[in-house]
Amino acid sequence: MTRTAVLLALLALLASCALPCSASAAGVIELSADTREIALSAHVTYRHDSAATDTLADAWRTLDAGGFEPLPGGNPAFGFQDGAFWVHARVVNRNPGEPRWLMVQTYPLSDRLDVYLRYPDGRVEHQAGGDTLPFGERAIRYRHPNFLLDLPAGQPVDILFRVQSQSSMQVPLVLYTPGAFTELSRDAQLAIGLYYGILLALFFYNLVLWLVLRDASYFWYLFHISAFGLVLFCLNGLGFEYLWPNNIWLADKSVPLSISLALIGMHQFARVFLGLGDRWPAGNRVSMIAIAAFAGFGIAAVFVPYRLITPAVSLAVLASIVWITVVSVVALRKGYRPARLFLLSWSMFLAGTAVFTLVAFGVIPKTFYTEYGVQIGSALEMLFLSVALSYRYASLRNENERIVSQANVQLEHTVAKRTRELRSTLDQLEQAHSRLRESSRRDGLTGLYNRSHFHDAFERLLVACNRDRQPLSLLMVDLDFFKTINDEHGHLVGDDVLRAAAQRIGKALRPYEALLARFGGEEFVIVLPGTDLRAAVAVAEEVRRAISSTPCKSQQGPSVRTSGSVGVHTVVPGTIDDIDDALQVADQALYAAKANGRDCVRTSISAA
């Protein structure tokens, strides 16, 4: 089968996955015996809670008072917005054979989702979702957030859906019977698998060409395929499903990071393919500035909140689309014939990317073609770029033969110049990679080491403890009543309390050679090498006093007084060689401290 035939099969399969639209107007949704799936956008009403302060009771009151309105034009995409969106639908299930339905939000990047079902007897059920929760907590292991709904036959059920996210606000909700969803997920996964199969085939085909020809264009083409494949993997929710299902931080940062990498590859490939260094030096400098800017975006994505960095990167994508089109036209006007194929293939990808970005900002409605425009455009672009690379190579070979016959010295100078440019760019990427590697060891909120780095460092310290026959003490610290602080004062105040507690603990540990890390939530962990139990208890008391010494000041609310419970366990050399065993014993001591009134220190001996 030719690559064109494979591509056409992909497009046909993607088209078969498009959801049928219901023709009924907004109001009560009737699920008849023939209904297997229904898109809810034409039937729901919504309210924008711009301050995200409405409680569930407020939302019910507003709904009952008629404060919700239909989606504008039935478009479920609102773009990047502050606050929260409440969406309501009233459903009556007329099919007694299907009491359970699956509601799917066909947008995988929302942070926090809450679904409330109100039954005629006043009972309210709640389910939560979104990528701020581990992937395993979803009702069905699927790339899109989903919720199993109990819809008793003949009873009107109010569905209240709340979304709050730093990403684009989109609420494309679809109801499925279990059987219909099984068929949909099967076909969708097959289409996605076929798409990535095309990318892999093109990747390995051009990898062989690069290894044989050593043409930098093939390298950057491979980089572009890999980076953009990662972007779609993240945007489609597959990264969260398969690569980091329990890493909430990476699920949050992966989209702007992968987009930055893809744009670096995009600009660098255009520079090399079009030979901007020779044909348009000024444009080449602008492209290099764009590459440096996206490297900066990638670094900033680690530190800057998603709601700020992602719209900025998305706007930069649109600017890049315009700029690469400009340099392609300039190269074509200067007589570079491969630029014609480059411009043709690139226009397909750029059109799909532009459509997807405009959907993210809510400028155009979300349809099958706008949602999958990136996949369709990129598949065509990758295919034609592969042809363009072959054409370019043939053109360059003929040109190089002419250049060699005229002046070997000039050819060597050109090759050396391009090699220096490549090495310079690789050096920049290596430096950026080193900075990203260091930042990945730190917790984004407190600046302390994160749990992953602690695990590696503690393993080395435990080995040294057993080897050198020196004691090692482990302290588990938990802030008391932290959930109450969040509930009463809000999560921003809670974040300030966590930062203040981390600073106080770090200051108390300065005289000691201690390893301090945030273990998760409001819990911290400390390792004291060469420290016996008595000395460790003394250090624990210093830490406990430091936490409760003064109220924690917050710019988001009132000062909050807090305290900490500390569990202490000393590892005797030769008794424990497993990290989890040591952590479990220390955790038991911490639970003993919390059980004995909190704001105290307990050891593993006293806990036993």
Single-letter residue type at 434: S
Close Cβ partners of 506 (under 8 Å, ≥ 6 residues apart): 448, 516
**Helix axes 248-274 and 281-303, enclosed angle (nearest 10):** 170
- Category of 128 on φ-ψ map: left (φ > 0), alpha (ψ -120 to 50) or beta: beta
Same domain, 396 and 480: no
275: alpha, beta or left, given left = phi > 0 and alpha = psi -120 to 50?
left
Question: Is 15 within a domain?
Answer: no
- pLDDT confidence of residue 9: 38
Last residue of a domain, one of 154, 176, 198: 176
Residue range 105-144, pLDDT digits in tens: 988 888 899 999 999 998 999 999 988 888 888 888 888 8
SS3 of 249-271: HHHHHHHHHHHHHHHHHHHHHHH
User: pLDDT tier at 375 (50, 70, 90 boundaries)?
Assistant: low
Are 133 and 112 in the same domain?
yes
Short-list 323, 327, 392, 387, CA closest to 353: 323
Residue 494 and residue 427 share a domain: no
Give, in order, the Cα–Cα distances in Å from 491 to each of 50, 109, 482, 497, 591.
Answer: 17, 21, 10, 10, 24
* pLDDT above 80: residue 474: yes
Which residue is associated with the tokens 């926090």? 112
pLDDT for 559: 86
Lowest mean pLDDT among 381-385, 545-549, 555-559: 381-385
**Pair 382, 234 in one domain:** yes
pLDDT tens for 329-351 read 898 888 888 787 777 777 776 67
pLDDT tens-digit readout, 74-106: 888 887 788 999 999 999 999 888 999 999 998
Beta carbons of 470 and 532 less than 8 angstroms apart: no
**Same-domain status, 431 and 456:** no
User: Which is more confident, 241 or 533?
Assistant: 533
What does the DSSP 8-state code read for residue 36? S
DSSP-derived secondary structure letter, 217: H
**Does residue 371 lie within any of the structural domains?**
yes
Confidence band of 386 (pLDDT split at 50, 70, 90): low
CA 287/CA 267 separation, integer angstroms? 6
Q: Which of 409, 439, 469 lies at the terminal end of a domain, its last residue?
A: 439
Q: What strands lie across the sheet with 173-176, from one edge to the other? A: 37-39, 173-176, 100-105, 146-150
Q: Tell me how far CA of residue 590 lies from CA of 192, 420, 596, in angstroms.
A: 47, 57, 10
pLDDT band at 14 (very low <50, low <70, confident <90, very high): very low
Residue 11 lies in a domain: no
Q: How far apart are CA 257 and CA 430, in angstroms?
A: 15
pLDDT in tens, 15-55: 333 333 333 334 789 999 888 889 898 889 999 998 989 99
Secondary structure of residue 104 in the 3-state scheme:
strand
Cα dist from 5 to 158, 194, 225, 235, 540, whole Å: 47, 12, 20, 26, 68
Q: Which of 399, 416, 439 is the last residue of a domain?
A: 439
Residues 519, 207: Cα–Cα separation, whole Å: 42
pLDDT at position 18 is 37
Structure tokens at 377: 């455009």
Instruction: Tell me whether residue 271 is in a domain.
Output: yes
Report the C-alpha gap between 367 and 42 in whole angstroms.
13
- 489 part of a folded domain: yes
Q: Is residue 17 part of a domain?
A: no
The reply to whether 412 and 560 lie within a common domain is no
How many whole angstroms separate alpha carbon 444 and alpha carbon 392?
Answer: 45
The pLDDT of residue 432: 63
Would residue 201 count as lying in a domain? no
The range of the structural domain enclosing residue 109 comes to 24-176
Rounded to whole angstroms, the Cα distance separating 513 from 519 reads 18
Tell me, what CATH number does 45's domain have? 2.60.40.2380
- 456 and 435 in a common domain: no
Same domain, residue pair 455 and 435: no
**How many angstroms separate the CA atoms of 592 and 364, rounded?**
57
Same domain, 477 and 329: no
Residues 603 and 470 in one domain: yes
pLDDT confidence of residue 24: 36
Q: How far, in Å, CA of 41 to CA of 344, rounded?
A: 36
| Number of independent structural domains in the chain | 3
User: For the segment 404-463, what is each residue's pLDDT rounded down to a tens digit?
Assistant: 777 666 767 777 788 787 787 777 777 767 666 766 788 888 889 988 888 988 888 888
Angstrom distance (rounded) from CA 586 to CA 127 = 34
Amino acid found at 576:
I
CATH number at residue 566: 3.30.70.270
* Greater model confidence, 218 or 518: 518
Q: Model confidence at 12, in pLDDT bands (50, 70, 90)?
A: very low
Tokens 């390792």 locate to: 527
Which segment of 60-74, 177-191, 457-471 scores lowest on mean pLDDT? 177-191
Tell me: do 391 and 498 sit in the same domain.
Answer: no
**What is the tally of helices (H) and strands (E) in the chain?**
19, 18
Would residue 121 count as lying in a domain? yes
How far separated are the first and last CA of the chain, in Å rounded?
69
Contact 221, 206 (CB under 8 A): yes
Domain check: are 163 and 218 in the same one? Answer: no
* Averaged pLDDT for residues 532-549: 91
Please give the structure tokens belonging to residue 338: 């491969």
